[in-house]
């Protein structure tokens, strides 16, 4: 089976300063932090590119094995995530390489600004993934399940190799995977999103699939 790979380019999603500050580890923003954040938004905001490639695959779950037709994965956590699903959206998303270049530049010139740019990049890729999943749900008339990425729970990072092979990420959106299984550009995500065929679905909260309850980045469930 050769799945059809689609590519979408998005406009910049609305920026959430509160989320950026959360990623930066700032509980409160005084005047200097607010000025630093605004400086990052001015410099980086127009330099990002929002791209997603994806396909829809059938899925069947047998105990801890998820069969997606093009490959199988053994993971109890992913199997639980997809247990009620009839298909899955496999996707890769990136906001491009420019944010990495800015982070590298300010890593030497201004570590504080580099940190804020890191947080901005994290908020941007999450906002892109949320926009994409929201669109998929509206188009299919269902509530998509929670995103589940390699490295979550017991799903190994090695799953990246299969995702990149199926989606042809390098050609489709300029996303690369190195020998250490790290993605470039770094502000990128690959994930499975279960489609359950109804409007109930599972919790769309991406943190619901993770048992690290003390994570500083954990969203409200």
- From the list 133, 113, 125, the residue with the least C-alpha distance to 186 is 125
Indicate whether 157 pLDDT > 60: yes
In a domain, 218, yes or no: no
In a domain, 183, yes or no: yes
Helices (H) and strands (E) in the chain, counts: 7, 9
Ranking 50-59, 124-133, 197-206 by mean pLDDT, the lowest is: 197-206
In a domain, 221, yes or no: no
Strand partners, 10: 50
In a domain, 55, yes or no: yes
pLDDT digits over 159-210, tens only? Answer: 999 999 999 999 999 999 999 999 999 999 999 999 987 544 444 455 555 5
Distance CA 10, CA 155 (A): 28
CATH number of residue 122's parent domain: 3.40.109.40
Indicate whether 57 pLDDT > 60: yes
Q: What is the predicted pLDDT for the residue at 204? A: 47
DSSP 114-172: HHHHHHHHHHHHHHHHHHHHHHHHHHHTS-----B-TTSTT--TTHHHHHHHHHTHHHH
In a domain, 143, yes or no: yes
At 63, list the tokens: 């105990």
pLDDT above 70: percentage of residues in the chain: 88
Q: What is the predicted pLDDT for the residue at 221? A: 39
What is the count of structural domains for the chain?
A: 1
pLDDT bracket for residue 104 (50, 70, 90):
very high
Q: Give the three-class secondary structure for 215.
A: coil
In a domain, 195, yes or no: yes
Could you list the residue range(s) of the whole structural domain that residue 155 is in?
6-209
At 54, list the tokens: 């994806």
Q: How many alpha carbons lie under 13 Å from residue 36 in its C-beta half-sphere?
A: 21
Strand partners, 57: 88
In a domain, 214, yes or no: no
pLDDT digits over 60-69, tens only? Answer: 999 999 999 9
In a domain, 159, yes or no: yes
């Amino acid at each position: 089976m050769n799945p059809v790979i689609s590519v979408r380019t998005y406009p910049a999603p609305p920026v959430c300063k509160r989320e950026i500050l959360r990623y930066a580890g700032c509980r409160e923003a005084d005047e200097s932090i607010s000025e630093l954040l605004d400086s990052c938004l001015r410099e980086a905001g127009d330099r990002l590119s929002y791209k997603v490639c994806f396909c829809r695959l059938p899925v069947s779950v047998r105990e801890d094995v998820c069969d997606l037709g093009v490959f199988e994965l053994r993971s109890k956590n992913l199997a639980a995530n997809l247990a009620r699903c009839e298909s899955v959206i496999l996707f890769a998303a990136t906001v491009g390489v420019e944010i990495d270049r800015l982070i590298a530049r300010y890593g030497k010139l201004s570590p504080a600004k580099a940190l804020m740019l890191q947080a901005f990049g994290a908020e941007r890729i999450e906002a892109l993934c949320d926009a994409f999943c929201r669109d998929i749900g509206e188009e299919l008339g269902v509530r998509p399940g929670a995103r589940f990425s390699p490295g979550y729970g017991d799903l190994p990072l090695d799953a990246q190799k299969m995702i990149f092979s199926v989606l042809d990420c390098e050609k489709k959106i300029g996303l690369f995977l190195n020998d250490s299984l790290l993605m470039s550009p770094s502000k990128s995500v690959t994930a499975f999103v279960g489609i359950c065929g109804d409007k109930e679905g599972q919790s769309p909260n991406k943190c619901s699939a993770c048992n690290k309850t003390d994570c500083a980045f954990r969203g409200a469930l």
